[in-house]
Amino acid sequence: MRINCEILDLRAFQNVVELESFHRAAEALNMSQPALTRRIQKLEASIGAPLLERTTRHVAPTAMGQELMPLVRRMLEEFDGSLFALKDTGSQHRGLITMACLPTAAFYFLPKVVRRFNEEFPHIRFRILDLTANDGLRAVARGEVEFGINLMGNSDPDLDFEPLIDDPFVLAMRKDHELSRYAELTWSHLEGHRLIVVDRSSGNRTLLDASLAKEKLKLNWFYEVTHLNTSLGLVEAGLGISVLPRLATPQDDHPFLITRPIIDPIVTRTIGIVQRRNGRLSPAAERFLSMLIRTWKF
């Protein structure tokens, strides 16, 4: 399906949503309200669905409008960035890179590459959405971001995955915990200890449960949390031990915490780049991904 719309149609929609008013949006765009209304109607006709709910006191996006808004915002920012780059008579590259990234990857290995990239291209900006695996995949599929850094395991036929690094699951515990005397552990070592895990909405938990089920193993947890950082906080407080990806654990020497590899079996998640199949990247994103792959490819 081909959608015919103009940049000003998109700006009209964005302003109405952000200002929550046709009157204020018309003033911001320096156009009459009837002209603004026609822009919105034209965009809705092109999309084939209402994008705004109107009452005498309130304007809000419909469900379709809420889904469209992040994509519109990204398209307008990239368009404005391209115009700015054309006006730039210097040799510096300009642009905006939008990506979705697992929080652990965003915290531990992404900054190193971003820093190197900014040294070479200091005028290229980044919008990094640190999202869960499932939310990150949806952001890529909807076009809200150019690409994602996510877990292998996606079955969406419209998305491609390129592996970057393997990240094994390890056991995190306090240095004074009785299991810390072992150089490596088996899953049976965890029995009888209060175990902290992330809940089933997490891609990490799904991967871990599936891998252990193949070996007829199951985690008998005592604490279940939503975020990996929460599990580390409970471990540090001496409330239990936690199985989590190595990248989610302190990478430097920690005053209280220590990690140990778990074997029989070794469970590993693969982190890589997710893109829309046949999708086009901005020149800035292509340069960044090239550097990312050179730095972190297996």
Per-residue pLDDT at 1: 42
Distance in angstroms (rounded) separating the CA atoms of residues 34 and 15: 15
**Average confidence score pLDDT of the chain:** 85
Render pLDDT for 157-194 as a digit per residue (tens, 0 to 9).
889 999 988 999 999 999 999 999 999 999 999 999 99
Segment 196-219, tens digit of pLDDT: 999 888 888 988 999 999 999 988
Report pLDDT for 89.
Answer: 42
Predicted structure pTM score: 0.67
Which of 68-72, 138-142, 196-200, 287-291 shows the lowest mean pLDDT across its residues?
68-72
Rounded distance between C-alpha atoms, residue 262 and residue 242, angstroms: 12
More confident residue, 169 or 50: 169
What letter represents residue 51's amino acid? L
Of 148, 160, 155, which is closest to residue 105 (Cα–Cα)? 148
- Across 267-277, average pLDDT: 92
Give the lowest-confidence range in 93-97, 202-206, 231-235. 93-97
Answer yes or no: is pLDDT of 38 > 90.
no
The mean per-residue pLDDT over the stretch 30-44 comes to 84
Contacts of 247 (CB under 8 A, 6+ apart): 104, 105, 108, 109, 167, 271
- Alpha-carbon distances, residue 179 vs 123, 183, 245, 253, 260 (angstroms): 49, 9, 18, 18, 9
- Read off the pLDDT of residues 136-162 as tens digits, 9 standing for 90 and up: 988 898 888 999 999 876 667 889 999
pLDDT in tens, 75-85: 777 776 665 55
Segment 267-274 mean pLDDT: 93
Name, in order, each residue with C-beta under 8 angstroms of 200's C-beta and a sequence gap of 6 or more. 206, 209
Is residue 92 within 8 Å of 280, Cβ to Cβ?
Answer: no
Pick from 118, 184, 147: nearest CA to 271: 147
Least confident of 43-52, 113-122, 223-232, 283-292: 43-52
Per-residue pLDDT, 238: 95
